[in-house]
Amino acid sequence: MNRVPATLVLADGAEFEGYAAGYLPSTGVTTGEFVFNTALSGYQEIITDPSYAGQVIAFTYPHIGNYGVTPLDEEALRPWCSGIVARDLSDLPSNWRSVGPLEGFLVQHRVPAIVGVDTRRLTRHLRRHGALPGAFGHGDPAAVESAARTARGTDGTDLVSLVTTREPYQHGEGPRHVVALDYGIKTTMVHQLARRFRVTVVPATFDADAIRALGPDGLFLSNGPGDPAALDAQVRVLDELIGTLPIFGICLGHQLLARSLGAVTYKLPFGHHGSNHPVKDLVTDRVEITAQNHNYAVSADALGRGQVSHVNLNDGVVEGIAAPRLACFSVQYHPEAGPGPHDARYLFDRFESLLTDGVLEAQ
């Protein structure tokens, strides 16, 4: 396939060459915060994860798109990422589930891409210097460089208001009702909850009174994009609800719950993005391989009313907290695992037990 040459420039001046792919914006330039993902498969789920809003995903696995795309693997109605970077983008998908090539999906959803990039060099640079804003595109290289200098990262940015649902909706059946606050919820999370509960997914703008009016037996706090320190309004809602009903949080929901319990959050150098991160459950001493997607983390120094329940075995980052007396717990990683291993799906059962028995127990 003949492709137009393109340039990738990071805010610190690092430059990479490649070719334009996917959707070609009329400006010829795309900006965002560059992060890398180490998953070997699951590219469609990754691209459609709303937690990537405002970011450009660089895939470390060199061959992307070889099994095509299917609506069954979409984690949201549309991708929210700013763009993708790949070494090689396959134009010959081969899989019985495929309904078309990845590039057609990118074009349909207006997601720009740059391919042919030395993603090993890019990944090493981001590991050394941290996640960086930047730009890429097929436009004038000088325009790409200029855009890179003014590109913004995710610090201090509320991206939840961009991705949250505009109207409540329901899934599942069952005797117990869970309200899920949508900070950028993934479809697989909704499915896991709906297997156990009647679920009402509500916008992140719902206040405590609106949530209580729905009469929930429990509250679920979803994943989402951006800086948790920019979401004071959402934390104030949790301040009113903690201790009044069981709460389970994942990823951004974990960070917001931790803030409400007295903790502070901080930005990791290059984040955790992939489906192969080892985490230890301090309650059971079990080690599980987890899927992760976060740039921010919870500090263990000022956890207030909570306690650390899970830790990352690579770097010691807090991966879970619990406050049994307040009937709430959360994890930084993604137990629903779309994509990734299913080692941690027991946490949804733990939430069910909390609603059933009123006790936060290990599974």
Specify the domain boundaries for CATH 3.40.50.880 within the chain.
160-357
**Residue 336 annotated as catalytic:** yes
Three-class secondary structure of residue 117 per DSSP: coil
Of 103, 294, 334, 352, catalytic: 334
- The answer to whether 297 touches 277, Cβ cutoff 8 Å, is no
pLDDT bucket at 363, cuts 50 / 70 / 90: very low
Nearest one of 3, 10, 5, 6 to 270, comparing CA atoms: 10
Q: Report the pLDDT value the prediction gives residue 360, as an integer from 0 to 100.
A: 58
Q: Report the pLDDT value the prediction gives residue 123, as an integer from 0 to 100.
A: 98
Phi, psi of 46 (to 5 degrees): -65, -45
Q: What confidence tens digit (pLDDT) does each residue in 145-179 have?
A: 999 999 999 999 999 999 999 999 999 998 999 99
Give the pair of three-digit tokens for residue 183: 């900070």
- Write down the mean pLDDT value for the chain: 96
DSSP calls for 62-100? SEE-TT-B-GGG-SSSS--BSEEEESEE-SS---TT-SB
**Residue 251 annotated as catalytic:** yes
Specify the domain boundaries for CATH 3.50.30.20 within the chain.
5-150
Which range among 225-229, 253-257, 292-296, 302-306 shows the weakest confidence by mean pLDDT? 302-306
From residue 155, alpha-carbon distances to 230, 268, 341 in Å are: 8, 11, 30
Nearest one of 312, 264, 315 to 290, comparing CA atoms: 312
> For domain 5-150, which architecture applies?
3-Layer(bba) Sandwich (3.50)
**Residue 167 annotated as catalytic:** no
Fold of 160-357: Rossmann fold (3.40.50)
The reported pTM is 0.96
Of 45, 251, 310, 328, catalytic: 251
